[in-house]
């Protein structure tokens, strides 16, 4: 769904809701994937969301929609529809998804949901909630297909056929009398084995498994390395307690790649849709601070090598800081936007808003660190000129932020990979622009007021 499509869909749904055109909406909803309805939800008011949700007739589709919602939006939404309707949706969700919901709602609401779920379900969910969200235990589902080792191939096929709706039955896991994982049999091996063979004699006993506390990144690496559709999860005593399926692994891969990329840019947090200006500033602040401090250090180092105490030459002391701060805020902006484009977030018609907010964050940081640099300049020159340096640095940083924010869109427009916008070409442009802005602003003012 691209930006234009989404805008049209949003407007149509809002119009139909106002008109109360129930039949039309239901027909429309039946053709939209729950993941896309979840995107649409971002652009609706709370009451529109609730009305729309009640018009989704298929319960499984409602459940899938709830799973797909952004965590913060979902917490508010579930409280809006009330505990009874929330429960009905949770009942149709897999245990790992329910655990994910409960991790992100207020404690009290979560406890009430858990208390009112079917005993079997809540036990499964509590089983998952015991583990950290980023471990195998925290992302596993308990719906695996396991049989005792003395089962015959024929019996196993019969059992498997009866369980044909267990969509994740990719492998038959073999367990001993203590429910310990002792082997695995593929569906193909099962079919070609003679009917009376026991699983113990055809199973692969060297099963790749993970423990409940294995980091999700390692789980994802194993699944992708060995091309598995699922990987078994055991507890400390080797008892089989769940499987992690490939679709959850894909989510982990996205998360980890995003995390790596943002760390490269010094903005180590996920790109959330609901990130506020203030949260953006808070996340990026310390990393810009690192660039600032290294700029300060560079100033002192420069001073020991070259005598720049006189006149306009003093401006050169701030050069490494100007370049460092500019590169930092510029790359942060471009990286966040490039990653947003790559993960599809910005393709959903939110490009402008997201970019505008990141530019806002960049400007806030520019003002802040420009002021700090100004204070530094006051100490090195005199109060009358310190503020000139501060303003010049602020403007240079604003320029860098704008270049960083615009470049990915320009690249996309001329059909180049937006990722290039975080690379050396744009960094070169940011450097040069920074130098020009800094000197163009500071130099005339400075030379004028010191008399040349």
* Contact set for its own copies, span 271-300 (CB under 8 A): 287-288, 290-291, 293-294, 297-298
149, 238, 443, 450: which one binds its own copies (CB under 8 A): 443
Rule CB under 8 A: is residue 270 a binding residue for its own copies? Answer: no
Q: DSSP 3-state assignment of 196?
A: coil
* Contact set for its own copies, span 183-202 (CB under 8 A): 186-188, 190-192
Rule CB under 8 A: is residue 250 a binding residue for its own copies? Answer: yes
Residue 436 CB, shortest distance to its own copies, in Å, is: 6
Identity of the residue, 122 or 267, whose beta carbon is nearer to its own copies in the bound complex: 267
Identity of the residue, 47 or 247, whose beta carbon is nearer to its own copies in the bound complex: 247
Residues that contact its own copies, how many (by CB under 8 A)? 86
Identity of the residue, 132 or 316, whose beta carbon is nearer to its own copies in the bound complex: 316
Residue 109 CB, shortest distance to its own copies, in Å, is: 26
The token pair at 357 is 């907010």
Q: What share of the chain is helix, strand, coil (3-state, %, to 5)?
A: 70, 10, 25
Identity of the residue, 124 or 334, whose beta carbon is nearer to its own copies in the bound complex: 334
Classify strands 240-245 and 230-234 as parallel, antiparallel or unpaired: antiparallel
Rule CB under 8 A: is residue 328 a binding residue for its own copies? Answer: yes
Q: Which of 155, 136, 135, 137 is nearest to 145 (CA)?
A: 155
Question: Do 318 and 247 touch, CB atoms closer than 8 A?
Answer: no
Contacts of residue 381, defined as CB under 8 A and 6 or more positions apart, other chains included, come to 314, 389
Distance of alpha carbon 162 from alpha carbon 149, whole angstroms: 19
Identity of the residue, 371 or 429, whose beta carbon is nearer to its own copies in the bound complex: 429
Using alpha carbons, list the distances in angstroms from residue 102 to 75, 108, 114.
Answer: 9, 10, 8
335, 398, 400, 408: which one binds its own copies (CB under 8 A): 335
- Number of alpha helices (DSSP H) and beta strands (DSSP E) in the chain: 21, 6
277, 406, 429, 445: which one binds its own copies (CB under 8 A): 429
Q: Which of 61, 217, 62, 71 is nearest to 138 (CA)?
A: 217
Identity of the residue, 313 or 356, whose beta carbon is nearer to its own copies in the bound complex: 313
Rule CB under 8 A: is residue 340 a binding residue for its own copies? Answer: no
Rule CB under 8 A: is residue 415 a binding residue for its own copies? Answer: no
Identity of the residue, 55 or 433, whose beta carbon is nearer to its own copies in the bound complex: 433
Distance of alpha carbon 434 from alpha carbon 430, whole angstroms: 6
Q: DSSP 3-state assignment of 171?
A: strand
Going by the DSSP 8-state scheme, the letter that residue 272 receives in this structure is -
Identify which range of 20-28, 182-190, 233-241, 375-383 contacts its own copies by CB under 8 A: 182-190
Rule CB under 8 A: is residue 428 a binding residue for its own copies? Answer: yes
132, 133, 160, 371: which one binds its own copies (CB under 8 A): 160
Q: Which of 328, 354, 347 is nearest to 272 (CA)?
A: 354
Q: DSSP 3-state assignment of 102?
A: helix
18, 225, 413, 415: which one binds its own copies (CB under 8 A): 225
Question: Do 430 and 400 touch, CB atoms closer than 8 A?
Answer: yes
342, 361, 366, 395: which one binds its own copies (CB under 8 A): 342
Q: What is the DSSP string of 298-327?
A: HHHHHHHHS---SGGGGGGGGHHHHHHHHH
Rule CB under 8 A: is residue 119 a binding residue for its own copies? Answer: no
Identity of the residue, 22 or 208, whose beta carbon is nearer to its own copies in the bound complex: 208
Identity of the residue, 263 or 352, whose beta carbon is nearer to its own copies in the bound complex: 263
Rule CB under 8 A: is residue 319 a binding residue for its own copies? Answer: yes
Identity of the residue, 81 or 439, whose beta carbon is nearer to its own copies in the bound complex: 439
* Contact set for its own copies, span 57-116 (CB under 8 A): none
Residue 367 CB, shortest distance to its own copies, in Å, is: 19
Residue 11 CB, shortest distance to its own copies, in Å, is: 21
* Contact set for its own copies, span 5-64 (CB under 8 A): 31, 33, 35
Identity of the residue, 81 or 171, whose beta carbon is nearer to its own copies in the bound complex: 171
Let me know if 20 is exposed, middle or buried by CB neighbors in 10 A (0-12, 13-18, 19+). exposed
The token pair at 203 is 């199973």
Residue 128 CB, shortest distance to its own copies, in Å, is: 18
Identify which range of 105-113, 118-126, 320-328, 352-360 contacts its own copies by CB under 8 A: 320-328
Going by the DSSP 8-state scheme, the letter that residue 131 receives in this structure is S
Distance of alpha carbon 292 from alpha carbon 329, whole angstroms: 11
């Amino acid at each position: 769904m691209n930006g234009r499509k989404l805008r049209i869909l949003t407007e149509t749904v809002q119009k139909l809701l106002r008109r109360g055109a129930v039949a039309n909406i239901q027909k429309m909803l039946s053709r939209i994937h729950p993941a896309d309805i979840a995107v649409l939800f971002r652009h609706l008011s709370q009451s529109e969301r609730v009305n729309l949700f009640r018009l989704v007739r298929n319960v499984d589709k409602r459940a899938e929609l709830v799973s797909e919602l952004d965590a913060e939006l979902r917490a508010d939404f579930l409280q809006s529809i009330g505990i009874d309707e929330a429960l009905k949706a949770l009942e149709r969700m897999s245990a790992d998804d329910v655990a994910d919901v409960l991790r992100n709602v207020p404690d009290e609401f979560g406890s009430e949901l858990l208390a009112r779920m079917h005993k079997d379900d809540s036990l499964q969910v509590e089983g998952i909630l015991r583990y950290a969200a980023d471990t195998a235990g925290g992302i596993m589902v308990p719906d695996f297909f396991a049989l005792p080792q003395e089962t015959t191939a024929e019996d196993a096929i019969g059992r498997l056929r009866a369980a044909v709706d267990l969509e994740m039955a990719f492998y038959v896991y073999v367990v001993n009398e203590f429910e310990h994982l002792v082997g695995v049999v593929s569906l193909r091996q099962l079919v070609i084995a003679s009917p009376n063979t026991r699983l113990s004699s055809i199973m692969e006993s060297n099963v790749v498994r993970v423990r409940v506390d294995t980091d999700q990144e390692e789980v994802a690496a194993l699944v992708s390395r060995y091309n598995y559709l699922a990987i078994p999860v055991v507890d400390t005593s080797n008892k089989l307690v769940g499987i992690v399926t490939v679709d959850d692994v894909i989510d982990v891969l996205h998360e980890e790649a995003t995390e790596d990329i943002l760390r490269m840019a010094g903005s180590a947090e996920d790109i959330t849709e609901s990130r506020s200006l203030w949260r953006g500033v808070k996340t990026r602040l310390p990393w810009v601070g690192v660039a600032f401090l290294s700029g300060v250090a560079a100033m002192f180092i420069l001073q020991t090598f070259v005598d720049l105490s006189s006149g306009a030459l003093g401006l050169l002391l701030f050069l490494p800081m100007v370049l460092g701060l500019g590169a930092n805020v510029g790359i942060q902006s471009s990286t966040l936007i490039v990653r947003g484009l790559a993960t599809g977030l910005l393709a959903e018609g939110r490009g402008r808003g997201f970019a505008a907010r990141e530019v806002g964050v960049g400007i806030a940081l520019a003002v802040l660190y420009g002021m700090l640099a100004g204070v530094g300049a006051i100490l090195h020159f005199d109060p009358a000129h310190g503020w000139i340096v501060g303003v010049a640095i602020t403007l240079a940083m604003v320029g860098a932020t704008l270049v960083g924010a615009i470049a990915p869109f320009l690249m996309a427009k001329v059909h180049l990979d937006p990722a290039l916008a975080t690379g050396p070409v744009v960094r070169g442009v940011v450097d040069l622009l920074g130098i020009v802005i800094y000197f163009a602003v500071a130099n005339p003012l400075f030379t004028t007021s010191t008399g040349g």
